[in-house]
Amino acid sequence: MEVAGLEWLLGPARQLVAWGAAGAMVFGGVVPYVPQYRDIRRTQNAEGFSTYVCLVLLVANILRILFWFGRHFESPLLWQSIIMIITMLLMLKLCTEVRVSNELNIKRRSFADFDLNYFWHWSKFTDYVQCVLTFTGVTGYITYLWLDSSLFVETLGFLAVFTEAMLGVPQLYRNYQNRSTEGMSVKMVLMWTSGDTFKTVYFILNQAPFQFSICGLLQVFVDITILLQVYLYSQYPQKPASHTAHPASTKAL
């Protein structure tokens, strides 16, 4: 009788934990960008954040959604991709508006110029949207043609999670170039690390496709490396490296 009563209590508790974990997966990934977004709006300066982070996350999550059509995985992971795409577009919109308002150069660049020297350094948010839609259309069509190939589907899944695992690399490189982490939200990186750790454990426990677990571990490693940069550049300040300024920002997980 007591066992039955205990099971009656544990059943709903397990369900609540499962719902909580699913909710954390869906929305947890966007939380780290909240402090970075607020910092950019407050300071009207986006130079500490790499917009290439947005590029990496957009590509990774578009590929993950396409992978879902070939091999269905858990719905929370699918919804996480959709929410992340929306979040990255909002980040891009803010960074573009701030950068253009601070730019002295009158020359405007657009996606239609097809100038590789200014790829992902365009002057209007609509240019980024055009690029994302073009990439989605091309990759979506290729996926449609090769959806019956298990090799293609598995490769697509690997590319999706591997691209996401490289998310921190643009910020890592930007910090190295600047010899500083100034302008980058440390809170954001701490949230990346905790979120990626939770996500990787979630992948392993829920037996997600093996690509997810492997690349999740790689992503945690990159996050920890960025935190080491924060420590090193604060304890041992270095002379900023001289490099040509580019009309753009750089990253955030």
> Is the overall model pTM greater than 0.75, yes or no?
no
pLDDT at 243: 43
pLDDT at 9: 60
pLDDT at 7: 60
Closest among 89, 105, 32 to 57, alpha carbons compared: 89
pLDDT at 240: 53
CB atoms within 10 A of CB 223: 25
pLDDT at 82: 93
Contacts of 122 (CB under 8 A, 6+ apart): 96, 109, 110, 111, 128
Contacts of 189 (CB under 8 A, 6+ apart): 32, 171, 223, 226, 227, 230, 253
For 179, the 3-state DSSP assignment is coil
For 142, the 3-state DSSP assignment is helix
Q: Give pLDDT tens digits for 166-208.
A: 878 877 888 888 888 877 778 878 887 888 888 788 778 877 7
Do residues 64 and 161 touch, judged by C-beta distance below 8 A?
yes
CB atoms within 10 A of CB 49: 29
Distance of alpha carbon 15 from its chain centroid, rounded? 29
Closest among 233, 209, 179, 253 to 64, alpha carbons compared: 209
Q: CA 54, CA 171: separation in Å to the nearest integer?
A: 11
Alpha-carbon separation of residue 191 from 25, 56, 64, 213 (angstroms):
13, 18, 22, 19
pLDDT at 29: 75
pLDDT at 251: 37
Place of tokens 């037996």: 207
pLDDT at 103: 74
SS3 content of the chain, % helix, strand, coil (to 5): 75, 0, 25
Low-confidence ranges of the chain (pLDDT < 50): 1, 241-253
Ramachandran region, residue 183 (left: φ > 0; alpha: ψ -120 to 50; beta: rest)? left
Note the residue count of the chain: 253
Distance of alpha carbon 78 from its chain centroid, rounded? 14
